[in-house]
Amino acid sequence: MATLTIDGLQRAYPRDGFALRGVSFDVPDGHLAALIGPSGAGKSSLLRLIAGLDRPDAGDVWLADRNVTRVPAHRRGIGLMFQELALFPHMNVHENVAFGLRMARWRRRARNERVTEMLELVGLGAYASRSVDQLSGGERQRVALARVLAPRPEVLLLDEPLGAIDEERKRWLRSELRDVLRAVGTTALVVSHDLRDAIAIADDVVLMSDGHVLQYGPLSLVSRFPLTAEAASMLGYVTLLQGEVEHSAVRERGVGELGIPPEAGISGLMRVMAHPSTMLAVPDGRHLGSGLSGVVVAIRPDGPVPLLDIVVGTRHLEARWEWDLDAPRIGTVVEIAVRPDTLRFYGSAPVVVPSEPAVESDERVASSNEDAGDDEDAPRRSLFGNA
């Protein structure tokens, strides 16, 4: 087990340009980090470099104090759980899990003990002699996990570990995957296109876009204080308003206006965002709302409370209805209530992260805007990039 440090990794492909433009972050020893970003952000390219399946043009990969940038893949001590690394169909469950140990020349007895231990860990103790084609998708994933963990990798890379699993089983597997990884204590980096996987599994999050890191740090902090509108969008925040700031308010024609706190900035374009989990629809005229109101155009059941689809001027927003047991009728005007301290403001001024103990004590909260050097315009450039 070790801290994984990524330091200034760059990778260009002839004709296609940069896949990685100087990527830096670290995953502390024993932490589970989720790597999130849209398709083409550079996630796979990054994993390949960390695994040693490709060489960077510049930058280094460290495992604890060992620079492994030029170490061949099989000597890095990194375990890979990639979708293309399927189970060996001609081997049974035990043989699959034992494979890496054979390669590493573990003695038979130690090997058998370790395989048994790993199969117990993933809840497949009774499946050792099963053929892998007798397993469900979820069971295969668990065998793959046992196989990759068996040789005690210092760092584990998981690429879409729940990609091929149906939604119902996924919910259960997410917590199982997290529990197994925590029990083993391996440092792990998990790539997922599904934010829910990442949130359920990870301690830390790395947000990537267009070959660079937008922000990384503890999930609890990054998800509450995204530094740019693009980072916020990636985490599921939605835009309530975007417009010019005038007299301490942001106004958008046809949508509405919202007062802004003085630290959010005093002029220029401003985008106000909120996370749907903090938004509630309330009856109109109660003045509990954010100042935005709109018309209910659809009502969808979403667990115990319905989710309303609301048209606010030119914008569609979703908000839960918890006011009473009867949902409002379609066509009703409702206000959207958002607690003011959960609104996020993105403008030309730097984002203000409230100083609270968690922020001050955690030095790992970082943005690659600092790394970008000459890229002073980064927050502004991404302002309207990802509505």
**N residues, the chain:** 387
Q: Which residue in the set 43, 76, 178, 275 belongs to the binding site for ligand ADP (CB under 6 A)?
A: 43
Instruction: State yes or no: residue 161 binds ligand ADP (CB under 6 A).
Output: no
Instruction: State yes or no: residue 37 binds ligand ADP (CB under 6 A).
Output: yes
Q: Which residue in the set 42, 56, 79, 289 belongs to the binding site for ligand ADP (CB under 6 A)?
A: 42
Applying CB under 6 A, the span of 32-40, 128-136, 145-153, 242-250 interacting with ligand ADP comes to: 32-40
Does residue 58 sit in helix, strand or coil? Answer: strand
How far apart are CB 155 and ligand ADP at their closest, in Å? 19
How far apart are CB 82 and ligand ADP at their closest, in Å? 12
Applying CB under 6 A, the span of 13-21, 168-176, 218-226, 360-368 interacting with ligand ADP comes to: 13-21
Instruction: State yes or no: residue 16 binds ligand ADP (CB under 6 A).
Output: yes
Label residues 10-31 b or e (16+ Cβ within 10 Å = b): bbeeeeeebbbbbbbbbbebbb
Output the six-digit token pair for 108. Answer: 């038979």
Supply angle C-alpha 47, 39, 206, rounded to 5. 55
Beta strands in the chain (DSSP E): 4-13, 17-27, 32-36, 58-63, 66-67, 78-81, 155-159, 187-191, 204-209, 212-218, 238-246, 249-252, 256-259, 269-274, 279-283, 292-302, 305-312, 315-321, 333-338, 344-347
Cβ-based nearer residue to ligand ADP, 18 or 99: 18
Q: Which residue in the set 21, 27, 44, 148 belongs to the binding site for ligand ADP (CB under 6 A)?
A: 44
How far apart are CB 45 and ligand ADP at their closest, in Å? 3
How far apart are CB 349 and ligand ADP at their closest, in Å? 30
Instruction: State yes or no: residue 324 binds ligand ADP (CB under 6 A).
Output: no
Cβ-based nearer residue to ligand ADP, 38 or 313: 38
Supply angle C-alpha 232, 19, 367, rounded to 5. 35
- Given a contact cutoff of 8 angstroms between Cβ atoms, the answer to whether 156 and 78 are in contact is yes
Residues that bind ligand ADP (CB under 6 A): 13, 16, 19, 37, 39-45
